[in-house]
Structure 1
Amino acid sequence: MKKPLQSCPVHAGSDKPASVNHPVGSWPPGPDAGLTGWGLLSQMSSDLMGTLEAWQREFGDLVHVRTWPEHQVIVSDPQLARELLVNQADSLQRWERALAVYRRVHGHSVLIAEGQAWRGKRQTLQPDFTRKSVQAFSPSILEAGRQAFDHWPRDEASWPIESALTSLTMEVIIRMMFSSGMGEDAAQAEKAVHTLMVASTDELWRPASLPDWMPWQWERRRARLLLNALIERHLQARLAQSPDDWPEDLLSRLLCLHRQQPQDWPLQAIRDECKTAFLAGHETVAASLVWWAWCMASYPAAQEKARTEAAAAWPGEEDGMVDMTALRYVSQTLQESMRLYPAVPLLMSRRAIQPVSLGGWTFPVRTVFMVPMQLMQKDARWFPEPLAYRPERFDPQADKAPQGAYLPFGGGPRVCLGQHLAMTEMTLLAAQLLRRYRLALPDGAPPPRPVFHVSQRPKLPLALRIERI
């Protein structure tokens, strides 16, 4: 029987942290590390979220994990997570091992950059990703959805919906980036992305990376070259055009930066941002829609309520002028599925570059912090009956969970740049799907088991019963 999680001792019946000060040099409780703690790494690599959940139940919301030569602290309390990510942000940088691994795929994009380089990129790119700016992409999203759903079968007992939704989100991001579709590249690109995701996750647990030219790295090398070729083909085609003929898309916006600030935005920087936009712009959206589709099939009443709203949002033909507030409940179904099945269940770890004070503890420079959002999002203290699927939790009139308890796009200064674009895209595509199809569970289908490869997906490709309405 599971030991119930106790109230956070730091909060102890108060909305503010209790004044508990631990001696400098001491650490919160945690699992026995033995001589090196490397056995703990083995546990984490085999079942990361299950291991973190077990440690939280046993040791609380601050857990010290000693894995020589590192000291890691797992933060699973909303107030402490917010304190760390927002108020202590200047004392942190992201874990250099993760950056080294992801840099092999993303180059030096805004996702990877740190310090002043990151601030400059973020400030420059931010205006194109505001809530208002991303509405300009709605027509492209809706057109991609229409074309995809027109090719789905009318009735299928076991439709490979995970692959179909991944192809659709890949098509959407390519249209937003390059004003053209994936074409024949779709299947190869989907496989390449999966290869890179799995390889990157495996690599995080190793002390160093092996070069791609080694014979056993051929699959990863081929995937990386395919992705680079996809980006390069679109880049060179655009450069061959007159700037006066450039369409209004993400690539044109980036190339305008190159023309205006060639020193700060060389062509390689444009390539890197395109790779990040393509990978991050479709993978987490696809994963979120896959889990949403599972929830819709599992909860028919919520599905019907969302379908009724989606049908009313467009009295006639779908167009890009839909008022997003008309799809409020559809959005709530997505938010609740992201609570239960976050596409990214924990943030990239942070390294302390200055001493960090948190929850009465003082942690020295070089401490590594991990924030597993999934644990907080399934915590009964913040979300009553946490395993129940209740989109109404996100109704504007509902009681709110504490700040920091729900972080599907991260938190602090490094909150996901594309969060508004992702929510707009997911809401529109979900509404389009519901207007056309009824989702149901295949006969005898077991619940999907989540596995973590940078994003969190079902261990086995998800298939659902679909029926044209």
Structure 2
Amino acid sequence: MNPIEVPTASGLPLLGSMLDLGRDPLGTYERARKEHGDVVRIVSGPPGLRTEIYFVFSAEGAQQVLASQAANFRKDDAFSMEMRETFGNGLLSSLDEDHLRQRRLLSPLFTKRKVAEYARAVCDEVDAMCGEWEADGGTGADLNEDMSRLTVRMITRILFGSDAEEAAAVVRRCMPVLGTYTLKRGLMPVNLPRSFPTAANRRASAAQAELYALCDRFIDQRRGSSDATGKDGADDLLTLLINARSDEDTPLTDRELRDQALVFLLAGSDTTATSLTFAMHLLARHQDVQDSTRAEVLAALGGRRPTPKDLDAIPALERVLKEAMRLYPAAPVLIRRAAQAAVIDGYAIPAGSYVYVCPWVTHRHPSYWPDPERFDPDRFLPAQASDRSRYAWFPLGGGPRSCIGNHFAMLQMKLAVAMFLQRYRFTGLEEEVPLEVGVTIRAARSVTCRLAPVGPLSADALSSA
């Protein structure tokens, strides 16, 4: 059967879909699928500066791009190159042998068993967040702001250990500047050189220099101490990265260590913050799901602090988180470039094309998700999920470039939600949450909710390890 020509989304004669993508990118993606099908060409920009993007919305197409034909769909597009310029050549953007070598060195540090060692640090930070809420009166929270602070503190503590407090302040100050800057450059058809002294270039250069200096200083400190050999029992992730070895690879250089640290700071804060914000928001808006999940948590824990071994006895946590990540995937699109011509889901993709697979749309596709806008964690019960396409849900990517930190992210979120639900009843005050689309999606404003203590277990029992 001959491949099908990809339909083109309607747009303005001169600008194509540029204005729609600027005003409402997520809505534009959804309309494209509804009007034209599962593979759609979207044209943006005036003649001479026009960008053509092939969007893939089906689960089958996503699997082909990310997994079965992954070798042909490379991360050497303009956005990925801008990411590399900003955040270095770490796992997020490295290519070919560089990526394979990094993956071999780092994979042993992110197994389910290994990341379980960070549970105590995660729980300590959740306790600290609850303590801040109580110091403020314990009656309300801004989930958007608070989950962002929480996840930055988690990842900086795990990455840098005792240096976490200083690092968290730098990350909170610099990462938003660099994320916005990189996204704008990645989407523009033409950019001025980064060395040109525009206000945006100067702000980004200062933020990048501050982050680089922070990481370089911590690397130098560990290189110059016995901690880097493991003799003093140092177990922060940066020390483990310094000591990472494999039979076939040389250790990471100082520059490579910095690049990996920057990737973990970016991915370990923004994506987890988005998922936690919306998981708690959805629970706060759906009291029946919140109550049933809390009952399962209390039955398993009885008010004590959770451990990784407890989590298998609380499957409701995973269902809630997966449903939140279905509705609000932190990365709404994953970008690739077709090295050679290909056929995806029956459609012809020309060589050199930009190809966007789109979790935001696939996760709302009615072929896989009945009543797709409804929050229903029971979609992930084994009986309901068994016949569903593997790539109907892929918030953490897939194939050889799937997120190396998936076990770590799920551990963080499960522990946090379990602790929150034991201590508080959350009542949502926001019906609709407008979204800001950047490198990741996030709430565009405060996501407020009321807090009420659950009962006598909410204080003394939860403070015990």
Q: Normalising by structure 2, report the TM-score.
A: 0.88
Please say if residues 246 and 252 of structure 1, whose CA atoms lie closer than 8 Å, have aligned partners that are also in contact.
no
Look up the match of 2:463: none
Shift of 1:268: 0.6
Q: Tell me if 1:339 matches 2:326.
A: yes
Q: Which runs of 5+ in 1 are unaligned?
A: 1-19
Look up the match of 1:31: 9
Shift of 1:213: 6.0
Look up the match of 2:99: 118
State the AA in 2 paired with 1:124.
L
Q: Helix, strand or coil for the counterpart of 1:248?
A: coil
Please say if residues 439 and 466 of structure 1, whose CA atoms lie closer than 8 Å, have aligned partners that are also in contact.
yes
Please say if residues 101 and 249 of structure 2, whose CA atoms lie closer than 8 Å, have aligned partners that are also in contact.
no
State the AA in 2 paired with 1:381.
S
The one of 430, 435, 439 aligned to 1:454? 439
Q: Distance in 1 between matches of 2:250 and 2:354?
A: 34
Q: 1:127 to 1:264 in 2, by over 3 A?
A: closer
Shift of 1:289: 0.4
Please say if residues 111 and 276 of structure 1, whose CA atoms lie closer than 8 Å, have aligned partners that are also in contact.
yes
Please say if residues 92 and 350 of structure 1, whose CA atoms lie closer than 8 Å, have aligned partners that are also in contact.
yes
Q: Distance in 1 between matches of 2:415 and 2:263?
A: 22
Q: 1:260 to 1:213 in 2, by over 3 A?
A: farther
The one of 379, 392, 417 aligned to 1:430? 417
Shift of 1:209: 5.1
Report sequence identity in percent.
25
Look up the match of 1:14: none
Superposition pairs of residues 189-338 of structure 1, within 5 angstroms: 189-206=171-188, 207-208=190-191, 210-211=193-194, 214-217=197-200, 218-242=202-226, 243=229, 244-257=231-244, 265-315=252-302, 317-318=304-305, 320-338=307-325
Shift of 1:112: 1.2
The 10-residue stretch of structure 1 (226-235 or 119-128) with the greater mean CA deviation from structure 2: 226-235
Look up the match of 1:5: none
Aligned-residue CA RMSD in angstroms? Answer: 2.4
Q: Tell me if 1:159 matches 2:111.
A: no
Q: Distance in 1 between matches of 2:249 and 2:404?
A: 23
Q: Tell me if 1:416 matches 2:415.
A: no
The one of 133, 139, 148 aligned to 2:129? 148
The 10-residue stretch of structure 1 (191-200 or 310-319) with the greater mean CA deviation from structure 2: 310-319
State the AA in 1 paired with 2:161.
S
Please say if residues 323 and 380 of structure 2, whose CA atoms lie closer than 8 Å, have aligned partners that are also in contact.
yes
Look up the match of 1:41: 18
Look up the match of 1:16: none
State the AA in 2 paired with 1:346.
V
The one of 351, 357, 361 aligned to 1:375? 361
Q: 1:262 to 1:79 in 2, by over 3 A?
A: closer
The 10-residue stretch of structure 1 (431-440 or 179-188) with the greater mean CA deviation from structure 2: 179-188
| Residues 134-154 of structure 1: CA deviation (Å, up to 9, x unaligned) | 212212212222222222227
Q: Distance in 1 between matches of 2:439 and 2:428?
A: 27
Q: 1:189 to 1:84 in 2, by over 3 A?
A: closer
Shift of 1:156: 4.8
Q: 1:95 to 1:42 in 2, by over 3 A?
A: farther
Please say if residues 156 and 168 of structure 2, whose CA atoms lie closer than 8 Å, have aligned partners that are also in contact.
no
Superposition pairs of residues 82-121 of structure 1, within 5 angstroms: 82-121=63-102
Q: Helix, strand or coil for the counterpart of 2:269?
A: helix
Look up the match of 2:28: 51
Please say if residues 171 and 181 of structure 1, whose CA atoms lie closer than 8 Å, have aligned partners that are also in contact.
no
Q: Distance in 2 between matches of 1:252 and 1:53?
A: 44
Shift of 1:30: 1.1
Q: Helix, strand or coil for the counterpart of 2:262?
A: helix
The 10-residue stretch of structure 1 (418-427 or 125-134) with the greater mean CA deviation from structure 2: 125-134
Superposition pairs of residues 355-366 of structure 1, within 5 angstroms: 355-366=341-352
Q: Distance in 1 between matches of 2:65 and 2:331?
A: 19
| Residues 135-182 of structure 1: CA deviation (Å, up to 9, x unaligned) | 122122122222222222275554222222111111111222122253
Q: Tell me if 1:173 matches 2:160.
A: no
Look up the match of 1:387: 373
Q: Normalising by structure 1, report the TM-score.
A: 0.88
Q: Distance in 2 between matches of 1:455 and 1:32?
A: 26
Q: Distance in 2 between matches of 1:103 and 1:459?
A: 26
Q: Helix, strand or coil for the counterpart of 1:430?
A: helix
The 10-residue stretch of structure 1 (201-210 or 87-96) with the greater mean CA deviation from structure 2: 201-210
Q: Distance in 2 between matches of 1:382 and 1:42?
A: 30
Q: Which has the higher helix share?
A: 2
Please say if residues 87 and 262 of structure 2, whose CA atoms lie closer than 8 Å, have aligned partners that are also in contact.
yes
The 10-residue stretch of structure 1 (288-297 or 309-318) with the greater mean CA deviation from structure 2: 309-318
Shift of 1:230: 2.8
| Residues 363-413 of structure 1: CA deviation (Å, up to 9, x unaligned) | 331022111111111122211111111111112232442221111101111
Q: Helix, strand or coil for the counterpart of 1:447?
A: coil
Counting matched residue pairs gives 443
Q: Distance in 2 between matches of 1:161 and 1:233?
A: 32
Q: Distance in 2 between matches of 1:455 and 1:86?
A: 22
The one of 426, 441, 460 aligned to 2:428? 441
The 10-residue stretch of structure 1 (301-310 or 312-321) with the greater mean CA deviation from structure 2: 312-321
State the AA in 1 paired with 2:9.
P
Shift of 1:461: 2.6
Q: Distance in 1 between matches of 2:420 and 2:256?
A: 36
The 10-residue stretch of structure 1 (195-204 or 182-191) with the greater mean CA deviation from structure 2: 182-191
Superposition pairs of residues 121-140 of structure 1, within 5 angstroms: 121-140=102-121
Q: 1:365 to 1:328 in 2, by over 3 A?
A: same
Q: Helix, strand or coil for the counterpart of 2:55?
A: strand
Shift of 1:288: 0.6
